[in-house]
Amino acid sequence: MRIGIISLMHESNTFISAPTTLEDFRRDALLTGDAVIEHWRPTVHEIGGFIEGIEAAGFEPVPIASAWAMPKGSVTRDAYETILNLITHELDHAGRLDGLLVAPHGAGVCEAHHDMDGHWLSVVRDRIGPDVPMVCTLDAHVNLSRRMIDACDATVIYRTNPHTDQHQVGLQAADLIARTLRGEIRPTQAASFPPVAINIERQTTADEPCRSMYAVADAMLERPGVLSNSIGLGFAYADVEEMGTSFLVVTDGDRDLAQRCADELAVHLWTRREEFVAKLTGVDEAIDQALAAEGRVCLLDMGDNVGGGSSADGTFLARALHERSIGESFVCICDPESVQKAEAAGVGARVDLSVGGRTDDLHGAPLDLTATVRLFHNGEFIETKVRHGGRREAHMGRTAIVETDDGMTVQLTSLRMAPFSLEQVRCCVDPTSFRILVAKGVVAPMAAYEEVCDTFIRVNTRGVSTADLSALDFKYRRRPLFPFEPVEKPGA
C-alpha cells in the first residue's frame, strides 16, 4: 500500500495588512518528494506521525508536497496558486496511491478563497477520485467548513492547547487510514456548528472551562461505533463565514450516530457558553499582579500574539516595565534596524535605541531607551522537547541582547519568532535570571515557559490579536454568534 502525504498549513490573520507571500513559504518550508520526509521525520509534528504510522502499518509513505509559513496576513493569490499547482503537479506524478494523509491548518485564508483549506482539499479530492480514502488532521484553531468535511473520509483535530499532541494525532490519522485500507472500518463523519465563538483567552485545554468539555468528548469515545471525535476551538482572527466553534465525530459507517454525537457536544458547549467569555486584565493591573506574585511570572502579551500572526514588535508591556523601572525583566521584540544599530555600536557599548512599533500603529509606539549591548547571536536554535507547533529547528535571524540601566533585558531579533520554545531565550541568556518574562502569545508559550515560570498572567494589550474581540471590525463572520449577538438556541 502506498500512502501519499500532502500538507499546506497557514494560520491567516485577516486583520493584518501585510499578506503572506510565496517568499514566506520558501523561507519556512516549501518541500517536495524526499525532502518532506527528511524535514519532518525528526519532529513531533503530525507529518512526523504520518511517516511513523504509515511505516508501522507496513505501508509505504509517499511524500508529495509540504508547505508551511509563520502565521501572518492572508495568503496572496499568487502564492496560493503557485503552491496549489506544485501540489497537483507532484500528485499527478506520484504514481498509484492507495490512500492519502493530508494536513491543512484549518484557518487558512487567501485572497482568492476565504476557505483556502476547503478549496485545496476539494481540488485534491477531485484529483484522486471518490474511492481513494483521504484522512485529514487539523489544528485546534480550525474554522471548520463543510467543504473540508466533504473532501475527507475522516478528520482528526489536535486535542491539546498548547498543541503538544500533534505527533499522536498524526499517528491516529495513519491508523485510521490503515484500518480503512484493511477493510476493518468504514469511517463516516459529521459535524455540528453551534453559534459560539470561544475566546482565545479561554482556550487552555487543561484548564476550565475547556477541561470539562474535553472530558465529555473523551467519555464519548467509549461508545460502540465511535472511532474519534474532535473539538474545533476556532480562530477569531480569520474573519470568514465559518469563524467559530465546531464539533466533529467519526464513526464506523454510521452517519446518524456521528451527527447525534456531534450535536450532543455542541449542546454541552451551548449550556456553558457564558464560561467561555474572556476575562480581561489590563497592562498596569497585570504588572501589579506580577509584582505581588511569588516566584517567576510570565506575562502573556495577547495583542501581539506572534503565533496568531502578529508583528512581534509590540511595545505596550515593554514600555510599562521600563517606565516603572522594573528590573530583572525580559522582553523579546522583532526589530532588525535596532539589531543593526546595536551591532554597529558593539558589545559593551551604550546605545540609544528606538525599539519596536515599526510595523503599524496598532501595537504601541517605538520605545526610546538607552541600553548596554551585551551580546549577539546568529538566531538559530533547536528544540528537542515536545512543544506547541511541533517544529525542531528555528531561526530568528541575527539577534542582539541589550540591557537598560534599570535591569530590563531586551532580546532584539531580525525575524519574527513565536515564543514556542524556551531555547529561544536560553540560546542567549538564562531565563531563570529574570523575575518577569514577557511572551508574545496567549496559550502556546505555556508549554515551554512552565519550565521556569510559576505564574502566567494574560494581558489584554491592543493589536491584531487582541482578546477584546469587540475591538475588531468583522465583515464576514457568521451571524448571530455568541457573545457578539444574543442567540436564542444553538444551530446544528
**Hey, what domains does the chain have and what are their CATH numbers?**
2-276 (3.40.50.2300), 283-467 (no CATH)
Q: Is the pTM of this model over 0.85?
A: yes
Tell me if 98 sits within 8 A of 1, measured CB to CB.
yes
What span, in angstroms and rounded, lies between the C-alpha atoms of 193 and 175? Answer: 27
State the DSSP H helix or E strand holding residue 136, giving kind and residue range, or none if neither.
Answer: strand 134-138
The string of DSSP letters for 217-245 reads HHHHTTSTTEEEEEEE---TTS-STT-S-
In the chain, the N- to C-terminal Cα span, in Å, equals 37
Using alpha carbons, select from 61, 65, 46, 60 the residue that is nearest to residue 124.
Answer: 65
Tell me if 165 sits within 8 A of 159, measured CB to CB.
yes
Tell me if 205 sits within 8 A of 214, measured CB to CB.
yes
Task: Locate 443 and state its grid cell.
Answer: 496559550
Check residue 345 and give its pLDDT: 98
Q: Per residue of the chain (492 residues), what is the pLDDT tens digit? A: 999 999 999 999 999 999 999 999 999 999 999 999 999 999 999 999 999 999 999 999 999 999 999 999 999 999 999 999 999 999 999 999 999 999 999 999 999 999 999 999 999 999 999 999 999 999 999 999 999 999 999 999 999 999 999 999 999 999 999 999 999 999 999 999 999 999 999 999 999 999 999 999 999 999 999 999 999 999 999 999 999 999 999 999 999 999 999 999 999 999 999 999 999 999 999 999 999 999 999 999 999 999 999 999 999 999 999 999 999 999 999 999 999 999 999 999 999 999 999 998 899 999 999 999 999 999 999 999 999 999 999 999 999 999 999 999 999 999 999 999 999 999 999 999 999 999 999 999 999 999 999 999 999 999 999 999 999 999 999 999 999 999 987 654
Check residue 490 and give its pLDDT: 61
CA distances from 262 to 142, 189, 240, 252 (A): 16, 9, 22, 14
Check residue 492 and give its pLDDT: 42
Counting other chains too, the contacts that 346-349 makes at CB distance below 8 Å and 24 or more residues apart are 346/373, 347/373, 347/374, 347/375, 347/376, 348/372, 348/373, 349/373
